Structures are given as C-alpha cells and as structure tokens.
Amino acid sequence: MASTVNDFSPFLGQPIRSLQTFLREIGQKYEEMPTVVPDGIYGPQTEASVRWFQEFSALPATGITDKKTWDAVVNEYFIIINQRTPPVCVNILPKDFTLIQAEDNKKELHPIQAMIKNLANTLESVLDLEITGVHDENSVNSVKLIQNILGKEETGIIDKELWNDIVLLYETHVSSPRFQR
C-alpha cells in the first residue's frame, strides 16, 4: 500500500512510539493480541505484541522489529484504518445548479431519481420510479410525495434545499436505516 510522508507526519522521529501506536490499533481488531501502550519504550509489552503479530503474519517470531515486520505492521495498520474510514463523499451537483422543473431532461436528475427509487423501497409513501434523467409525470409525483412528507409545498420542483432534504432522507432511511418497512 502506498503512503506519503504526510501519512506518517505525527510519527516522524518516534519509531518505537509509532510502532506501538500501529500495534495498538491492530490490537483493536485482534483482541487476542497482547496490549501495548505507546510509551516509546521497547519493553516486554512491545516485544510480546510484536511476537504475536509476527506469528499472526507468518514471520519469524523473534519479537524484534526488522524491516519485514515493520512493513507488515504498517500495511496491516493502513488496511484497518481504511476499513474504518467512511468512503469519500462527492458533491455531484454542479456549482451552478439551481433547480429542476417538470419535463426537464438533466443529468443531475439521475442521482436524485436513484435516491428516490431507493427511498421507495423503504418508505411506503414514496412512489417507485424509473431512473431516466427526465423529470416526467412519475418523477414529479414522486418529488411531490417527498415534499408532502417533509411538510413542504408540493411543487414537484427540485432546488438545492430539496436536494439536501432528499439526501438527508436517503442517509437516514437507506444509508444507515433505522426504520424498515
């Protein structure tokens, strides 16, 4: 796994504390791994943790951190950190987005329709619709139902505020569902 100097900036000049920090993080995933406290001292705790990790990684279990052990620890650490980190979010609307009205054919409508389609699987009061990129009658009616759920005027028009509301509904009911049909 590629890394940059910035990935290690808090650890520069502190190799033992860095190793201990990485091992402690790895130990959060593997409870049977001996616990190590990042104190900057390569003592019995660190040696036991390194030995366990070496056995786990099919490396010679010496308790000494050689280059192969260091590389394996760093790799495992970044795998664990990447698994915990949520995916990068992307703003898919252009900066000049204003609104989508009935019969508009806009590429920005595809993700909105996809979210509405998924909301329809979770919320009974939302109509299922095809993802076409056209704000046709079915799309407008689905948007009006969402506006109704939100207590807003039922115009069928999608503006930035409604976009944000749809995203919030999607995050609440689809991305991390607390309520199921």
pTM of the full predicted structure?
Answer: 0.56
154: left (phi over 0), alpha (psi -120 to 50) or beta: beta
Q: What is the mean pLDDT of the chain?
A: 88
Residue at a domain's end among 33, 58, 84:
84
Q: Which of 31, 92, 85, 42 is nearest to 65 (CA)?
A: 42
80 and 12 housed in the same domain: yes
Query: Does 94 reside within a domain?
Result: no
Q: Which domain holds residue 46?
A: 5-84
Rounded distance between C-alpha atoms, residue 106 and residue 134, angstroms: 7
pLDDT at residue 181 in the model:
43
Give the CATH number for residue 37.
Answer: 1.10.101
pLDDT in tens, 171-181: 888 877 554 44
pLDDT greater than 70 at residue 165: yes
Structure tokens at 72: 């394996």
Give the CATH number for residue 142.
Answer: 1.10.101.10
16 and 63 housed in the same domain: yes
pLDDT in tens, 2-49: 444 445 555 567 899 999 999 999 999 999 999 999 999 999 999 999
Amino acid identity of residue 151, one-letter, is G
DSSP character for 171? I
Structure tokens at 120: 């329809």
Burial classification of residue 24, based on how many CB atoms lie within 10 Å of its CB (0-12 exposed, 13-18 middle, 19 or more buried): middle
Residue at a domain's end among 84, 111, 133:
84
Query: Does 93 reside within a domain?
Result: no
